[in-house]
Amino acid sequence: MRKLSIIGIGAGHPDYITVQAIKALETLDVVFLIDKGEEKDDLAKLRREICERHIKKPFRFVEAKDPERDRKPVSYEAAVTTWHDKRAAIYEAMIRNELADGQHGAFLVWGDPSLYDSTLRIVDQVAAMQTVAFELDVIPGITSVQALTARHRITLNRIGGPVHITTGRQLAKGLPGDDTVVMLDGECTFKTVKDDGIDIYWGAYLGTEDEILISGRLSDHSAEIERVRTEARARHGWIMDTYLLRKTSGGSQ
């Protein structure tokens, strides 16, 4: 039987990797890499460094190009489904052709595989094809949300309170709760939140040497964050940022 692990490697700092992930890395024969294009070169480099640091026996990288994705689709959901189908075909071929019976392969996932990552869904799709059999395990990692709260030295929730985790696209429809984490926001959607009693805790390149942190009243820092974000994105060619919006009137921390 082939063995496939989906390993969360943490969201930035090489030391975010867990002991469980290191133990899994040590037994790998094959590491599957998906090339997401030049802008994410820094992230691909970090993945390779993690492997070279922790895998002590001979192993192989097997790399495939991420399929093209329609960035301005009429239907967002349909475009994502088509993209996932193309990815599933690529993953299936990689597992079937590059992982021999009895070998252990892995996809290394940024942060944690359960949070805004499609690897698990795609691997489930591959399993459903029934063209290649494998045993699957998932190893959790430190998410960008945990990196954000740790670096700002704040709690994620307030006492007994709920937390909403969402995307910039969803935030554009309105603030869903008193404590809202926003990811995947290329548009600085926090600008559209007009409520006066809100604090923002913003972090970019969390855990890396390029990390930027800004926090304070949203109305005071909105323009500054947009400017800093634009400059950093231009400098690096890419950016990953996450933020928590916290309504301050009423709640206790």
Ligand X SMILES: C[S@@+](CC[C@H](N)C(=O)[O-])C[C@H]1O[C@@H](n2cnc3c(N)ncnc32)[C@H](O)[C@@H]1O
Residues at the interface with ligand X (CB under 6 A) = 11-12, 110-112, 115-117, 143-144, 183-184, 203-207, 240-242
Q: Which is nearer to ligand X, 5 or 242 (CB)?
A: 242
End-to-end CA distance of the chain: 50
What is the smallest separation between the CB atom of 203 and ligand X, expressed in angstroms? 5
Q: How far is the CB of 78 from ligand X (least distance, A)?
A: 19
Minimum distance from residue 131 beta carbon to ligand X (Å): 27
Closest alpha carbon to 32 in 59, 2, 13, 67: 59
Bridge partners, 179 (sequence order):
246
* Chain residue whose CB lies nearest ligand X: 111
Phi, psi of 215 (to 5 degrees): -145, 160
The CA distance from 5 to 24, in Å, is 8
Nearer to ligand X, 103 or 180 (CB): 180
Q: Which is nearer to ligand X, 12 or 105 (CB)?
A: 12
Q: Which is nearer to ligand X, 88 or 183 (CB)?
A: 183
Enumerate the H helices of the chain as residue ranges: 19-26, 41-54, 76-98, 119-129, 144-152, 168-171, 218-236
Q: How far is the CB of 112 from ligand X (least distance, A)?
A: 4
Contacts of 161 (CB under 8 A, 6+ apart): 178, 179, 251
Pick the closer one to ligand X by CB: 133 or 213: 213
Query: In angstroms, what is the minimal distance from the CB of 72 to ligand X?
Result: 18
